[in-house]
Structure 1
Amino acid sequence: MAILLGCDSVELEFPTKHIFDDVTLGVNEGDRIGIVGRNGDGKSTLLSVLAGELEPDDGRVTHRRGVTVGLLGQKDALDDNATVHHAVVGDAPEYEWASSPRVRSVLDGLIADVEWEGKVGELSGGQRRRVDLARLLIGDYDVLMLDEPTNHLDIRTINWLAAHLKTRWAAGVGALLVVTHDRWFLDEVCTSMWEVHDGRVDPFEGGYSAYILQRVERDRLAAAAEDRRRNMARKELAWLSRGAQARSTKPKFRVEAARALIADVPPVRNELELKRLAVSRLGKQVIDVIDATAGYSDEETGAFRPVVSDATWLIGAGDRFGLLGENGAGKSTLLQVIQGKLAPVRGRVKIGATVRFGILSQQLDELAPYMDQTIREVLSHYKRLYIVDGKETSPEKLLERLGFTTQQLWSRIGDLSGGQRRRLSLLLTILDEPNVLILDEPGNDLDTDMLAIVEDLLDGWPGTLILVTHDRYLMERVTDSQYAIIDGRLRHVAGGVDEYLRLVAAAHDGTEGAARAGRTAAAAASAAESSGAGPQPSGLSNAERQRLRREVSSLERKMESRRAKLEELEAALTQIDPTDYTALVAKQAEIDAERAEIDELETAWLEASEQLEG
């Protein structure tokens, strides 16, 4: 099997940490490698070294002559002022990319809903990630290196990406290296794994599940060896304890051997284990959502725009539900209805008298007031002792079990990494002793080992759990049943994520077909214009009419997005303390600016529509 690239005896050290120590690796034709490890152990750095973007302190990196490497970083280098068109295909003639089946497949799979001539700087985080992915995937590379490619992607897009990577090359051709915390994705696309830890890279055969099995077996063998050593240590200790006089006559080498056996006995307790905490008592009545329709009213026209219609969801004590839906489908709106923060315009919501919510938001808004405080200062707001499995323990000890060191307890919240903030916020949510736990993307920024710890914690959660996540593995691991919002309707998906994907794929067939037809028409119009095709009876050429249609469609989407943002701002205004005049004035200024932007978009839309109809 031909080698494409590799490294030999690579060493790398940063000012505060030793990253790699004598690492030797090879990437062969046909390899599909998943890279896992704790945050900060060097996974992204390994990709940069192998791609040739970072020079090691010692050792060498070699590429076979002519090998092309495509690298997707966690942050893109897209130009905010460039159009999506230029960011993806550059200056390539339209007939070249429009005639390529692979390019069309990538565009339809990733950015069918993104305005082709829109500006990159106006895209959301998820749209921008998909544009960057499309830019990379339309290229013809021998090796693809992807760093957290599933970040900001919904389950449908993650499913498409996995299918694309599995069929991108023929068997035994090309190579893929992917760093991700999405374990379903690793299992789906990878045939081998690299574990980065303690300056080393250990290879494993098979996908993520096979890697975990091998790790368990490795740990089992290590535990068996440790048991044998402890048995020997007990015998030696018994031998050493037979009286001071007898001990003085024992051979010196036996005494030294016995002491060596017990010198490095590891602690018997797993410091990362966090067992069940108490929750507030939960009565029989929890949450009943019955025929509820919720949404927002247009400020200008007063027209009501439903986001979720006729939703019925009966949530009982101990239920473990997952909520699925694409970005913007209405999951956040439904969660607000469930919490009683948003009243439905039709139907009703009944929340039990004993319900006590614990909320972990995607943006970690719960930590915002504490950014200038240390972890210890934040923990001082909570009880000093909690009961965990019948034993008293402190919040500091619980946090240490979630991977924090004693020294880190003195760190400011604002200085913590994303993963550390999420772990801290999750623990603080649980320390409030809620009985209904609502988690919005709890797995963001966590490595696979820490995700497993969080899953163990949620496995022992005795209350009601509602989970929103694009991590399919996490969803299927900790929930018993899934619901989905599709086209504004809440429905139970008895077949789980697979059934949801089938339903969403069917709903998207029409949309993607229209987008595909639009791009094909654009290419045809461009060709007709270049060949001298005359204007239409309305006075517009094919290319001009196509441009106006795209502009009208783009303006409609922008107005829809702006109106949704305006509704969010207006909802936030109602939550502000009426006596806080500074906050009220600032929020009203944001609302006025948003309305002005909508007015400008509506004027542009009207002008473009009139040109198209004229």
Structure 2
Amino acid sequence: MEVTGLTYALPDGRRVLNDVSFTLGEGVTAGLAGPNGAGRIALLRLIAGDLTPTSGKIASKGGIGYLSRSGDSSSAERDRLSLEALLQGPDGVLLLDGPDEHLDVRGKEWLEDRFRSSRKTILLTSRDRQLLANAASRIIAVEEREVWVHEGGYATFADARLARAPFGRENETFRPEASGSPRSVLRALRRVLRDDRTRTRAGERALTGRGLRLPGLTTAFDLTVRLGDRIAICGADGPAKSLFRRLLDESGRPDDAVPSFDGTVELGERVTPGSLTRDPADAGLAGRSVADLLTGLGHDDATAVLTRYGLEPARERRYEDLSDGERAGLNVLLLELAEVNLLLLDEPTGRLDPSGADTFQRCLRGFPGAVLAITGDRWLAGDFTRFLHFAADGQVREATWGPE
């Protein structure tokens, strides 16, 4: 398949894609990456013939099969049948928008195997970075109305993207739930970084749970969390994992806010839990640069903490101009500075595109406290060292690996 000089503009004249060119060889599987709104889906639809380009040419060998992202609650079995039909069908080029959207981990692994054994030319989008890494031999990146090709797989894509331009531009707002107002954050900045009594000490006990049981959902289990732990909460779909996260997050709040449970939860001394929540409000951060939010630290201390989180290149940018991943990462930083050292996350990369998820994951590595995250993101789970598995039969146990 060959795309040459492809330009696509909206009826009002705004360009979505500008003079895009790339080639995919026969039998190549490529992942389509880039920030939300950059034009990935428009590119797929142009190649499929659903949209008419303003200018440029698209040539392919054999027919084109197109699977669009389903907006309904399509079943995994139905998706597998549709994919199998395309993979065994006559079309030489397949365009797949989120083909794994309704598949569990085993279904994704089946799809990866089918892609690797296929002789068709495949261009696909997916939020699952592990699937892109396992199945795609190259990445077609759509950014700023242009396209560039990374000849390696997804494992090296994030570094290649950073080498070209350190930060993308996605657009979703996150705010810290437990850190209070920006003014209270600023009051805490210097104290948190300079007072040894409040610094996070890896290995100290952050939380102890004994005989924990969510009635009707889980059997009893014990859990010890130490500062510095990275624990992924994974397993069967259902309310148990989210209720468990809420139980930990709200353990120090009024009883009526805590989900019903049996057993005991004890926070360690000087341990403060906190989490990120998506909210359209900017919590007073809009219009302020990253540097302005860290004024109370002084230049050298701000540089040190921004470098640790991988956010130093974004120092002078306003909060609303940050990407999704950058905002999420900055809010983790602000939670740390507000003395949160037990971070509780619920599918933190679930609504981020792969580029934003890469940015957030890089930022999360800078958080020195304990992290407990509900996640089905296999790529993110690779950064975790412990896995708490909630099984469909209600059993909760530590596992050797994460999402299943």
TM-score (normalizing by structure 1)? 0.50
Partners in 2 of 1:210 and 1:463 — Cα distance?
Answer: 28
- Per-residue CA deviation, residues 398-448 of structure 1 (Å, 9 max, x unaligned), is 998586985664x9xxxx997687567555544533110111122233344
Residues 388 and 444 (structure 1), Cα distance of their counterparts in 2 relative to 1, 3 Å cut: farther
User: Counterpart of 1:158 in structure 2: which amino acid?
Assistant: K
* Cα distance change on mapping 1:372 and 1:321 into 2, 3 Å: closer
- 1:11 matches 2:7: yes
What letter matches 2:381 in structure 1? Answer: M
CA distance in 2, matches of 1:405, 1:40: 24
Question: Are 2:245 and 1:331 equivalent residues in the alignment?
Answer: no
CA–CA distance in 2 between the matches of 1:492 and 1:16? Answer: 55
The alignment status of 1:205 with 2:151, answered yes or no, reads yes
Determine helix, strand or coil for the equivalent of 1:461.
Answer: coil
* Cα distance in structure 2, aligned partners of 1:405 and 1:197: 21
- Give the match for residue 209 of structure 2: 289
5 Å-filtered alignment, 1:35-434, equals: 35-64=32-61, 67-73=63-69, 76=71, 78=72, 127-128=73-74, 130=76, 133-134=79-80, 136-140=82-86, 141=89, 142=91, 143-151=93-101, 154-167=104-117, 169=118, 173-211=119-157, 219=163, 278=192, 280-281=198-199, 284-295=204-215, 306-328=216-238, 330-339=240-249, 340=251, 341-345=258-262, 347-361=263-277, 364=278, 367=279, 370=281, 375-376=286-287, 385-386=296-297, 390-391=301-302, 406=317, 409=320, 422=328, 426=332, 429-434=335-340
Distance 2:259 2:220 in 1: 15
Flag the structure with higher helix content: 1
- Show structure 1 runs of 5+ residues with no match: 79-126, 223-265, 296-305, 502-614
Other structure's SS at 1:12 match: strand
Higher relative contact order (CA 8 A, sep 6+): 2
Q: Let me know the Cα RMSD of the aligned residues.
A: 4.0
Q: What is the aligned-residue identity percentage?
A: 24
Compared CA separation, residues 212 and 371, structure 1 to 2 (3 A): closer
DSSP 3-state at the match of 2:248: helix
Task: Return the alpha-carbon distance in structure 1 between the equivalents of residues 122 and 65 of structure 2.
Answer: 10
Counterpart amino acid of residue 459 in structure 1 = R
| Alpha-carbon offset, residue 328 of structure 1 | 0.8
Q: CA deviation at 1:377?
A: 8.5
Equivalent-residue separation in structure 1 for 2:150 and 2:319 (angstroms): 32
Deviation of 1:352 after TM superposition, in Å, equals: 2.2
Helix, strand or coil: the match of 1:56?
Answer: coil
- Alpha-carbon distance change, 377 to 11 in structure 1, aligned in 2, over 3 angstroms: closer
> Is 447-456 or 132-141 further displaced after alignment?
132-141
Aligned amino acid, residue 218 of structure 2: V
Task: For residues 370-403 of structure 1, give each alpha carbon's deviation from its aligned partner in whole angstroms, at most 9, with x where no partner exists.
Answer: 3797724899xx88534686247999xx998586
Gaps spanning 5+ residues in structure 2: where?
A: 169-188, 252-257
Give the partner amino acid of 1:342: P
- Contact persistence 1:399–1:424 (CA under 8 A): no
SS in 2 for 1:390: helix
Q: How many residues align?
A: 360
Structure 1 residues 213 and 404: CA distance shift in structure 2, 3 A: closer
> TM-score scaled to structure 2, two decimals?
0.73
The whole-number CA distance in structure 2 between the counterparts of 1:399 and 1:52 is 40
Cα displacement string for residues 202-246 of structure 1 (whole angstroms, at most 9, x for unaligned residues): 333342125457668xx4xx9xxxxxxxxxxxxxxxxxxxxxxxx
Residues 319/422 of structure 1: CA separation in 2 closer, same or farther (3 Å cut): closer
2:181 equivalent in structure 1:
none
Contact kept? 1:293, 1:310, Cα under 8 Å: yes
Compute the displacement of 1:156 (Å): 4.1
CA–CA distance in 2 between the matches of 1:431 and 1:50? 48
Q: What letter corresponds to residue 354 of structure 1 in structure 2?
A: R
Shift of 1:7: 2.4
Larger radius of gyration: 1
Of Structure 1 and Structure 2, the greater strand share is in 2
SS at match of 2:381: helix
Is 1:484–2:389 an aligned residue pair? yes
